[in-house]
Amino acid sequence: MTAVDPGECDPIARQAAVSPDRTAIRWPASDDSVTFEALDRRVETWAVGLRDHRGADPDAQGPRIGVCVEDRADFVAVLGAIWRVGASAVLLDPGAPDRTVQQCLDVSDPAAVVVESPADRDLDTRLIDVAALGDGTPSASVPPTDWAAEREAVVAFTSGTTGRPRGVRLAVRTLAASVGGWADRLGSAAECWLDPLPVHHMGGFMPIVRAIGLGTTAVVERPPDPERIGALLADHSLTGVSLVPTQLSALLDAGWSPPDALSAVLVGGAPVPTALRRHALDRGVPLWPTYGTTETASGVAIATPDDLHDRIDTVGRPLDGVNVTIRDPETGAAVDSGVTGEIVVDGPSVTPGYCDESGEWSAAGLRTGDLGSIEDGFLFVAGRLDDRIVSGGETIDPHAVERVVGEHPAVEAVAVVGIPDDRWGERVGAAVVTDDAALPDSATATLDAYAREHLRAPARPKTWTVVQTIPRTASGTVDRAAIRDLIRDDE
């Protein structure tokens, strides 16, 4: 693997020079693949088209260009073309309503957005049809630009489950540090990676960046079901894959067993329940639970399968170059080993800031808003600081309640939220997916009795809502705002 460092030309041009014949990207859905040399030529052509469609007006040469395309082959070419013309790529969800996309545009202010079918979009910005970018004249050229460390490379958006999306600025050094940290930890497992996650989120974006940065291969497809994921893993000699917990659970429920070539199943984007971890390890899955944020280009910590034998719930040790401390969220003081506090991250993989120049920084680094602890160098994540429920003066950790309720044999999934309450300020509400066969009586009565036996009074759910699935965002995190609405609608 040949990593591209800041200061060199853009990484696609660099890998085309170093490993021209290496397969860069495979798209099984279209039975297509491209070497680094061929990808570089495609990017060059598309960069010419992008430059031409931006026009000669210097004011049109803005530092950011949005990419909002469904086709994954087009996404990679557009990304490379944006970097080749010296711009930063704004990652947008092509499946989101125009109103949601416009919110992201208002935050990031790109000069233009590359889309499919511009006539079908109602967006207040200049739109460039992705179909026209391949018209670039091969005789023209766009020389690779400097890959300077502090140059902004990407704007990505946080999940936005609690309000308007936040535009996170990721510099070249942010991506390079994340890629280097992952490479050191994964080793040869990074050689051929399946990327089945949304490419506008870090979980789906970074496998592409790692392939480009390391000169390895990314197999890029958004499979519709676990059977397709299993088939891809079996048929393409893959060494690694990135999944969210629901995908891993569905794979195991479908009877999947990992092929011999598979060295790493990275699972992140949401907490990985203890029961799922044990189930995966019992089935021989090379499980690597991860912890990261958009603000760190997904890279903070990763646990190896060996780490889990003695510390089943850890997300592992911080990656090389990442400094993680646990601090009192009120005072900012460091807490003792094993004590829960706010996770604070520092190092070159941390964002230089947000589009609106806001941020939650302390002298120690980026305040993640996540709760966790460190024991013997291993990081444990306990949930979100702003997920905590305050009921009658008692502070309740919803994730602790979820762990207890989730141990009931009839509960397949659970999410706990605070519901506004005139008397208590908030009351605990739980949305549960149940196995009907295991609950012969009223589900809510049975679970209420269980909670009375296993939870102290303030932490017991006062409202139970049985749902078919737990709502999640596109990145796989629990959509607590949607759950809160479901519970209130059910009352």
Taken in order of first residue, the domains within the chain and their CATH numbers are 1-316 (3.40.50.12780), 388-490 (3.30.300.30)
| Exposed/middle/buried for residue 453 (C-beta within 10 Å: 0-12, 13-18, 19+) | exposed
- For residue 346, which of 369, 321, 313, 329 has the smallest C-alpha distance? 321
Contact 294, 168 (CB under 8 A): yes
Q: Which helix (H) or strand (E) holds 231?
A: helix 226-235
CA–CA dist 347, 292 (Å, integer): 13
Which residues, including other chains, have CB under 8 Å from residue 271's CB and lie 6 or more apart?
A: 245, 381, 383, 399
| Exposed/middle/buried for residue 164 (C-beta within 10 Å: 0-12, 13-18, 19+) | middle
Question: What is the residue-wise DSSP string for 270-299?
Answer: S---HHHHHHHHHTT--EEEEE--GGGTT-
DSSP 8-state code for residue 117: -
- As a whole number, mean pLDDT of residues 10-34 equals 94
Instruction: Give pLDDT, residue 399.
Output: 85
Instruction: Give pLDDT, residue 58.
Output: 39
Pairing outcome for strands 152-157 and 88-91: parallel
CA–CA dist 190, 194 (Å, integer): 10
One-letter identity of residue 486: L
- As a whole number, mean pLDDT of residues 31-44 equals 95
- As a whole number, mean pLDDT of residues 126-142 equals 79
pLDDT tier at 400, thresholds 50, 70, 90: confident
Instruction: Give pLDDT, residue 137.
Output: 60
One-letter identity of residue 478: V
Asked if residue 441 has pLDDT above 60, the reply is: no
Highest mean pLDDT among 342-346, 356-360, 434-438, 483-487: 342-346
> Strand order of the sheet with strand 167-171?
127-129, 112-115, 64-68, 88-91, 152-157, 167-171, 353-354
- For residue 292, which of 260, 324, 264 has the smallest C-alpha distance? 324
